[in-house]
Amino acid sequence: MAAGSATVTRKSRDADCCSVNFLKNVLHIFNVIFLLAGAAVLGVGVWTLVDRHRLVVLLTTANFALAASVLVLAGALTLGVAVLGCCGVWRENRCLILVYTFLLLLIFLLEALVGVLAYVYQGHVEGELNQNLNRTFVESYSVDEARTAAIDSVQQDFKCCGAIRFEDWEGSRWHKGPPALQPHRVPDSCCRSMSPDCGLSHHPSNIFYTGCVYRIKQEIQAHLVILGAVGLGICVLQIFGMVLSCCLYIKLKDIID
């Protein structure tokens, strides 16, 4: 009698409101969606680092690059975790399901961090650019190869000249450099039609007069909105996955076939 009273009551796979098979099927569907979301997160992160590299080079803080890098890490983790989840659910391995749940929590925290970081930095980017961009332009052009290439690319693509205004170049290290550069009023990348030595004249018909800070600010703020939306939007998905995996973990504890 004592032995019988100590026996743990085991339940059927179909007991209670959600059966094991139901939870497994829903989790398999979730993992497919999770895998696609992870690929999207990874793609957005890589796109930011590659396509916006020229802007990252011109910034004095690492917040923008950090948000994109964390998003890449979260996306890469998602691909592996989705496979792990499928294996754990298919084999009904409670240990794998538990690890899967904790990894979902980790990815949730990473993506939430990206979302918060992106929205917080969005409010500070204008002040950073207004304070530091002009110094980056006038001190780095022709001195730092990576920043020189980034400045030339920005001025041509955004149709701008100088950080705040085209006159900024008159006080730059580049303008005060070797005598061969003295005749140039602005870099050739300021020209409406770029060609060798076109920067000798700063007539309005020849160069762009708008400073680059305005377009750079718009580009970075718009991209931070994308990073924040992707980070906070997709991290909500992990909540459903964690709830489902916890339910399956508990359900598998005391079942009979």
Strand partners, 229: none
What letters, b where the CB count within 10 A reaches 16 and e where it falls short, cover 81-107?
bbeebbebbeeeeeebbebbbebbeeb
Residues 236, 189: one domain?
no
Residues 118, 232: one domain?
yes
pLDDT at 67 over 80: yes
End-to-end CA distance of the chain: 25
What letters, b where the CB count within 10 A reaches 16 and e where it falls short, cover 231-247?
bbebbebbeebbebbeb
Give the chain's domain count: 2
Q: Give me the mean pLDDT over the 11-22 stretch.
A: 65
| DSSP secondary structure code for residue 199 in this structure | G
CATH of the domain at 191: 1.10.1450
Strand partners, 256: 12
Of 36-50, 76-90, 129-143, 242-256, the one with minimum mean pLDDT is 242-256
Question: Residue 4: what pLDDT?
Answer: 45
Q: Give me the mean pLDDT over the 36-42 stretch.
A: 90
Nearest residue to 37 (alpha-carbon basis) of 246, 248, 241: 241
Q: Give me the mean pLDDT over the 120-126 stretch.
A: 85
Residue 235 has which token pair? 């991290």
Nearest residue to 88 (alpha-carbon basis) of 257, 256, 252: 252
Whether 118 and 63 have beta carbons less than 8 Å apart is answered as: no
Residues 30, 100: one domain?
yes
Residues 147, 225: one domain?
no
- With both helix axes pointing from N to C terminus, report the angle between 63-91 and 20-51 in degrees, rounded to the nearest 10: 160
pTM of the model: 0.78
Assess if residue 158 is contained within a domain: yes
Strand partners, 11: 255
Name the residue range of residue 193's domain.
Answer: 132-215
Residues 16, 108: one domain?
yes
Tens of pLDDT, residues 186-230: 999 999 998 888 888 888 888 998 999 999 998 898 888 988 898
Burial class (CB in 10 A: 0-12, 13-18, 19+), 19: middle
Assess if residue 186 is contained within a domain: yes
List all residues 6 or more positions away from 144 whose beta carbon is below 8 Å from its beta carbon: none
Whether 183 and 218 have beta carbons less than 8 Å apart is answered as: no
